[in-house]
Amino acid sequence: MDVRSNRNVVYSCRYHVVWCPTYRRAVLRDGIDTRLVALIREAVEAKNAQLVEVTARPDHVYLVVGIDPQFGIHRLVKQIKGTTSRVLRQEFPGLCSRLPSLWTNSYFVATSGGTPQATIKRYIESQGR
């Protein structure tokens, strides 16, 4: 277990997050997926969070991340989705013509405290098969 701390909290919080493009369209391909993963890595690093696993499939994104509970997973997801949508739509103009907005407003999040990280990582990796 990887334990982190800030000035007043000691924590080990891991979250499994999944979200989709609008209408669950399979637009995350042809270089968009690679750029998306790089942008997610940058955004997570900027918020001093820990990226455990990230995978972009054509119609959804899997993310396992550790974040300070005082910052909150909802803020991190909002920041990642906002930044990646803006940058990807600027760099890949075809996304603007296909979708009114890149991401849906919703996402799935679950704590992964009881499940070993290796099991979650295998699950995410197996989704591409």
SS3 state of residue 22: helix
Which pLDDT score, from 0 to 100, does residue 1 have?
61
Question: Rounded distance, CA 25 to CA 46, Å?
Answer: 29
pLDDT digits (tens, 9 = 90+) for 20-63: 999 999 999 999 999 999 999 999 999 989 999 999 999 999 99
The domain made up of 9-126 is a member of CATH 3.40.50.300: no
pLDDT band (50, 70, 90) for residue 11: confident
- pLDDT(8) > 90: no
Note the pLDDT tens digit of each residue in 60-118: 999 999 998 888 899 999 999 999 999 999 999 999 888 899 999 999 999 876 667 77
Annotated domain spans of the chain:
9-126
Q: Would the pLDDT of 128 be above 70?
A: no
CB 50 within 8 A of CB 11: no
